[in-house]
Structure 1
Amino acid sequence: MDSKNQFRLSAVLSGHESDIRSICQSPQAGVITASRDKLAKLWYPDQQGIYHQSMTYVGHQDYINSMCVMPPSSDYPDGVIFTGGHDNLILGFLPNKTEPELRLEGHSNVISALSPGKFGTLLSGSWDGTARVWLKSKSVMVLQEHEGSVLAVSFMSSQGIMITGSSDKSIKVWRGGNCERTLTGHTDCVRALCVCSDVDILSCGNDCTIRKWNVLTGQCQQTFHGHSSFIYGICMYPGKTVDFVSCGEDRSLRMWKDDKLIQTITHPAQSVWTVSCLSNGDIITGTSDGLARIFTMDVTRLASDEQLKNFSKQESLFTINASNPKGKNVNISELPGIEAIGIPGKKDGQVKMFRNGDVAEAYQWSADSQLWERVGEVLSSSNKETYEGKEYDHVFSVDVEEGKPHKKLPYNLSEDPWYAAQRFIDKESLPQVYLDQVAKFIIDNTKGQALASSVPTSNEYSDPFTGGSRYVPGRQIEQSSNAASDPFTGTSRYIPGQQSNQDAGSGSDPFTGENRYVPNQSRSQVKPNSTVFKYFPKTSHLLFDGINVTGLLSKLNSFNASVPANHQLTNEQLLQLTESVNFACRPENYNQRQLDIKELDILAKVLDWPEDFVFPGLDILRLYIRHPQVNTYFTATDRGADFITSLLHFLRDSSKINNCLLALRVLANVFSNPSGANLMVICCDDILKGLVDLHSSDNKNVRIAISTILLNYGVSLQGLQEPDAKSVCLNLLSLILATEVQPESVFRAMVATGTICFNNIEMTQLARTLGFDDYFIRLSKTSEPEKIGECASQLLQIVQ
């Protein structure tokens, strides 16, 4: 990257007391940071580009590990900030409230990853080895096949799939509740994922690589090298100057373009935990020193010269373990002299020590400038302990199995505690769930110590698992509520094969109720159903055809005299519209003639009437839209999206109830022709969101109309690969059947459910998870009307 177009520091956000683990942009162009200090903070820039804290979100009892932002919706016009913590909770915050609005419980261990999806769905990953799909604060699906913690999650809405990455080194592709494909290639934990096209994703992990995958074929298309340690974060860039960015344990933020590393920014911190790209093209990082730093290419947003110099000075003075990787005292006489600095480095980011007089100095090679850039003076440590031929500031003893020799946990003060903890876990083959416990143990037993500090003489340090002076598996101890238990046994140590009592939330299979899902194990599966059912699957759309022509035309004439003069129809237009209505209410006449475009223009004028007078126009449109020519006119051209938007306008809370009802009936009748049905599927995101907001309306006819639209969606979605839309339909149907008492609304909702689930294993499994069997057991006892009891009994044959 040209030096003139490089990213440079723009701003520093200071306010957290511990590591920043996750960063997102708020829907209102602010920045949200989440930290190990148990807090999340919202920041906004002033006119000078200086960021100020706007809100602090509280509620977690342990530190926050993950975060995402749900886009604005009709339920939450300002969006929702979701945070996942080490207290096993997901909390949802409204941007303008400090206390949580939502509390999602279900995971039995640390929440490690969050990702927003369509229709208000949320995907979470946890150390309990599962991922969960949430809707309306309810866990509606559990994804359980990984053999380790789920550390990364992402929706790929274009394919209707979900993706998870794990400490078991694998990436899994899920459709519905089933694992469709497993991607293997990483040689260590998968830490982050991001979608980069309709079929491709990027992944990164502890093996220091970034990989590009095609999720449809499972093939790894490319591997990117450049980082020298764990890679924690990866993010697609919104502009053309960069393709994607990454960050990691090597203290760096790295920018990639055309498959090449084009810029590296080293931070004065031990770890760069997270990275996010802002909509204005800036990049923000969160680091182990509790700071968020924003970098920009826009010269108008650059930090002051003093801040730029200060950042450079901090970075150059920061002594990292990489400058003395073996933790040994430096023999300065054996180092190459400073004159050797003219010899080029071998790769970007390479660190090398030179002798400058009596001082050892560390330099890092910059491939961009083709220069060795000074990192800082290398400090020699004293009072070291030797372990396996290497010197460390501390070598702790930890018993990992009773009756067996204790294990050594080596640590240098210049290391990141999580890096040392991961090394210890890998070496001793311990469960990944212990990572943060071991890291916390290191932090607790080295508090206040600097690089040159001596090792304490006391052996009374707290054990990472029990909190006592020594860890002994099997010892009866009282664990605090914040202590991370083993993900499989629920106890303080994982013992393979040990029998344990597992609670319902600790990783049982979401569909069978069994303790653990084992691939290829013989188990009950849903098979295609050859039974012929009386009420479903429905193959034709249900329309609102009834009309009181006389009453409609009378109201039309009355309102025409009351609307402002510029909206009124002429007598000629009224007469022509009357003839059109009489024609449109009789479908058997549709083949006799085409509607004149002037007739549609007259209707458009009526639809533009003030809201107090518009409902006769909506009722006429309900009839007109059944005509193939009219349906195609509104739905098969560029007018389609605007047409749907205009109808959704009438579904707002402030709309007149008659307008709302008639708009819903128009939407139901749009399905009457192929082009209209296709448009309804294309626009299902926005339409279904509107239905969710109205499903509990006090007006029974509104609720019947909603059930009818869902039934028509069931008909149109048959045979289509639209699992997201089908899933949201089922979730909305679940809400309806849980509370609805109006018989016709209940019946249509059941027929919609049967149509969606018939011979569809994924949707049938989801229906089970949502508890549809309970609804149908209750409804099967209904004797009046008889069709409700019959339909419910038939549905039980599918979902039980």
Structure 2
Amino acid sequence: MEALQYKLSQTIAAHNGIVRSISTQGNELLTCSSDKTAKLYEMKDNQYQQVTLISFFEKYIYATCARVNGGYAVGHDNQIYLLDNEGNPLGILEGHDQQVCSLKSISENLLISGSWDATAIIWDISQMKQLYRLNGHKYGVAVYGDENLNFITGSQDGILHSWSKETKIKSVQAHKDIIREILLSPLGGYITCSNDETIKLWSKDLELIQTFLGHKSFVFTMKIHMDQVISGGDDRLVIIWNLDGTPQQTIQLPDTVWTVAINNFNDIIIGTSDGKVRVFTTDKNRYATQAEIEGLEQEASLSNAKQEGGMSEEEVQKLPGIDKLNTMIGKKEGEIRLFRNGNKPEAYMWSLATKNWQLIGDVIGGKGANSKKFFPGDKYFEAGEYDHVFDVEDDNGITKLLPYNEGESFYDSAEKFCLREGYSKHYLQQIVNFLKKNTSFGQSQRQKKSELETMKEQYAQQQILQQQQAKKQIDFQYIPYTQCTYYENMNLQGLSKKLFEFNAQMSEELKLTEKETLIFNKGIESLGQVQVQKTVNIENSVSIIFIQKLLKWDAQYLLPVYDFFRLFCLHHSSEQLFAGLEKGMNLFLNIFTIVNTQPINAVLVRLALQTLCNCLKHNTNSCAILYHLRIVKDIILSLLDTDEKTVLLLSNLILNLSIGIYQRNGLNDQASELLSEAIITFLQYKQRDVETIAKLVTAIGNLMKSPAKQIREQCKKITFEFIQSLVIDTNNQDTLKCLEEVKLSMLI
């Protein structure tokens, strides 16, 4: 009996970036992307429909993993987020020193993760702690584990390791390149895939059983489904294999396949570089329309023809002949399809006005080594055929396309590439070196630099020297500004009276117990004593009570709660709340809810903003608020159109945050990027008073004076155009001189 064929069932325009990972649980689907978001879908009426957007990540999301009643997600910040079934963060696992690239849920309370720090960690989820750490890898680690605490790991050196708990049992040279995925084989052993274009089947003792050959490039992903292996990779293919290594079906996609998954309907779900998630099924009742299926085939054919510079004879013969031009109707203006004219592929575009297909031209080029490559074009590089279209992988593992023609200036191409991707000039020479190494022109010129390039290098060196001399000669008086604004006024008697009055109205679940009341009273008393005795401590229980009970009170009762916490943040004992895995996340999320609740409670909002300002008082608190700066940025932008008192508080908060970034230059440029974006949006929204503008300009000045080069460059990239054209209508000489210094800091 012939096996059922998988056909397209649904196409989801899921993301604006690469779909890096897909996981399934029941009728739910979780996707994540380089666009910094994850999305949760549910199957309804035979179609996946989005139910949740997860957007608290600061940079790209690398991997997801399903679990009972939720899942896990990892991004650029080296941490593993435990999510509930609605995508809300429940906790954070910290332990890796670089980004996590591989996750496997072993059981409800057991997880294994692999990282670019060359380690794998096994986690006890019930205790939110590490059980074992497996060392001895090279760079990114792929992982697998079972409930008997047997683990398999592999990394960039192609070596596969087996472990029992933390003890290494065996190592084999499994692949010639990076091991991307490790799964349990239906035969009881393991199966691996690699950048060396192969998939390999192993016994339980890591003896090689079978090698699967068929992919033409890196194999990034695979899943096991009953007695089949489903794999996908950079060649834009998904191959369905039998366990003897023979392919049963091949599915061509329009872009690189990064992830595949299987749901409980036996569907194959595929995530690709174009941001789309496609569902394939063997259920004929759930097939997409014939037009949708043919549309995908055409899109894949056209995309692959452009990428490879031509089509194989087999691919050409599969195209509809030009005799179909009058019977095949286009779906939209500008739709492009390929038709076969004899043995030659031709590209046609659909015109709604004339209701016919119009010839664009031949699909030129062959698949030889000297064929041209097609680049679709952008703001910096024209569309057309190039001698090379390089895949350049950035620090985040995301591939960028760099077109280049032999004989062109390395520096011009590298500079356009850096401008397009927003890279600093620090990367310019690296791109130039890459082009020299990988092009014929570069190899022929390696011993002899062109006069133009030599002049450019000399000019660049002169510019650096001039900038260094200018920095030594300029004496900045107004930036950096390092005096934070704190809100210290207190009425502890009134605060205490109102808080316990509200407490009496709470349900038993949220009401402070007698013991908790005593602890909290003591904490309030300690706030009054701190003016006299700096070493007074406040019990850690106060932080626990605040998070577990007081933050859950309705907004109408939160005024005394935030009045207390505003003062508590000035006390050194508050650092205990911002330490640990979550770094005070509940507080920041609660404030975000407050500022987005209508009708807005202006007094409560101001107390919450004063609390955030006071978070910059102590080091642990300051690091926490900068860590959660994406949430804080959203809080700021939620209050763009507000009263003058709140605007002044916001400007003080922004200035405090800039001081925190300046004083902690070890942070990456993400904090600078987020704050710079918030400042410019805030300034552009409407005309601000001079005092507010002055504080926001000073905040930019603090970022521009950071010892960290990346912070300065990120700030300049976002704010340069606006600041250089900014004119402040004031006679205040201090404000004008401060603006002049900020402008100057961007020019040296």
If the length of structure 1 is used for normalisation, what is the TM-score?
Answer: 0.47
Structure with larger RCO (C-alpha < 8 A, sep 6+): 1
Comparing both structures, which one devotes a greater share of its residues to helix?
2
Q: Compare CA radii of gyration and give the structure with the larger one.
A: 1
If the length of structure 2 is used for normalisation, what is the TM-score?
Answer: 0.49
